Every structure is written in structure tokens, then in C-alpha cells.
Structure 1
Amino acid sequence: MEDVFIHNHETTEPLSPIISDSGASSSTAQKKKKRANDANIASILKNFRYFVDMVGPGFKAMAECAIRNADANALKDAARKEVQEKKKLLNQVIFNIDGLSEDEALVVIQSLRKDEEELNMFWDLPDDKKLRFCRLLLGGRDTI
């Protein structure tokens, strides 16, 4: 990114009041002072607009990036919460599968809590396929 330097070559009169003996020259001095102030304000506005034009797109890009990161983090948090909920419900489901002993159920629960991919696969199966999945899991990981 280039460094941007804005030079103001306009000369202005000092902002201190001008003391004058005549009322006419005081009025003229006030008009000159007002014009100088107006020129300064116009110059400041011009430089500010230039600054906004230069850095505005960068700030917009940073804001968009922050929003994308926040959205991604929210999705990750939601996925983590979903996995935690699935792990909490495992005991209720696994121990209620007809055909599994308590020991087998404990081994399956232990295994599914360690492997999120298998946990998700288990939950995606229809209820009538969960026993078969557990049997394959108990038989060895090579068969799944």
C-alpha cells in the first residue's frame, strides 16, 4: 500500500484578530479572514474526502472479513454443540437397542464418543440399521 501524503500549499492568514483604526479596514480584514477560514474548511473537506476514498474500501473489506469469520465461528460452535448433544443422547439410544448386551453397549458408546465421523454415521442411520452398525463396530473397525 502506498503512503499517501497530502500537501496543502495554500497560504492562509493567521487566525488572530486584526486590530485596525478604521472601521472599513476592519470589515475588509474580517472578510479576508472569513474567506481564509472558508478556504481552510474547503481544503480540509477535500482532503477528508480523498482520505475516505483511499481507505474506505480497505475498511469495508476488513468489516466483511470480520463478518465472514464471525459467521464461520458461529457455524463451528453450532456443529460442536450438535456433536455434544449427540454424545449426550448416546446412552439413551444405545442401551435401548434390542440385541445389544450392556457390555456391548458400553463398548459402542466408548467408541462412538471418540470418533465424530462414526458418531454422525450412527445418527444418520435409520433405527432398524443401528444394531447392524453396532455389530460391525464391535466386530472391528476394518469392516466399516
Structure 2
Amino acid sequence: MPMQRAFKSAAKVAAHASRQINAVVVSSGLMAKTVKYFNATSHLLVHDPNSSLRTGDVISISPGWRTSKTVRHVVSSIIAPFGTPISERPPIPTAEERIAGRERKLMAKDIRKGKWSRWGFEKDPRGVEGGEWYVEGWGKQDVVKPDASVNGEEVRPA
């Protein structure tokens, strides 16, 4: 039974997180993709995935996965923009888009580290031409043929 709880999908966990906090952005643009929200009793740093918030915006935030040591919340939506209209800013990704982006990032990391079998690949996807993860020249080693010198020693090009 405990194993079934451990395998909940990230989408179900994100859908379950229903706590929404309305806040005013106090500082933005100083730390990449992070804004400050101060309340009388709490201080929160909030992850802004596309850097679309400006100081003075009224936003809605929700708990998310830990982005850094002190950033544990993520922007859900902009309630009232301050200054630049919402249409001229980068869009805020939905929870499903954030989860898909995070899984894609983890998959890319596992493929780089050689752990591609975790994601169901039978062989390294970087060498499959026409695939999404294809890398030009992957798996093909350039064979350097030595040139013979006058003394019979091999000379390799530098």
C-alpha cells in the first residue's frame, strides 16, 4: 500500500495543491525568475518561470516543488497587473506545462548521464537519426590515421 502512494503522478499532486494565496509583488527583476511577496506574518520568495511579473502586480501563488533553498512557491496567475498589460508580457505556464517542462528537463539530464533506460529507451537516443534527442556525429569516432615520417615514427596531427 505505501508503494502505491509513492507512485502518484505529478499531475495529481499538482491538482491536489489547492491552497491559493493572493499577494502583491514587492520586488522583481533583481533575481532571475524570482519575486518577493511580504505579508505581515510571512515572507515568501516565489518562482516566476517566464519572468513575467513586475513590481506592484497583484498575483495568485500556490505551493510548488522546491526551486531553490528558499523558493518554495510558484506564480499561478496575475490578478491585477501594474504598468505593462498582461498581453505584452510572457505568459505564465499552467501547472501541467510546468510539470511537463520539469519532466523533460529531468529526461534530458538522465540521457546526458547515460541513464536513458529509465525512460524506456532500448539504446542511446542521441545516436538515432531523426529522433528528438539526436546529436550530430554522436557515437561516430573520428579515426585519426597517422602520417609516416622520415624516421619511421608516427606523427599525429595536432
> Structure 1 or 2: larger strand share?
2
TM-score, structure 2 length as denominator?
0.22
Which one has the bigger helix percentage? 1
Rg comparison, structure with higher value = 1
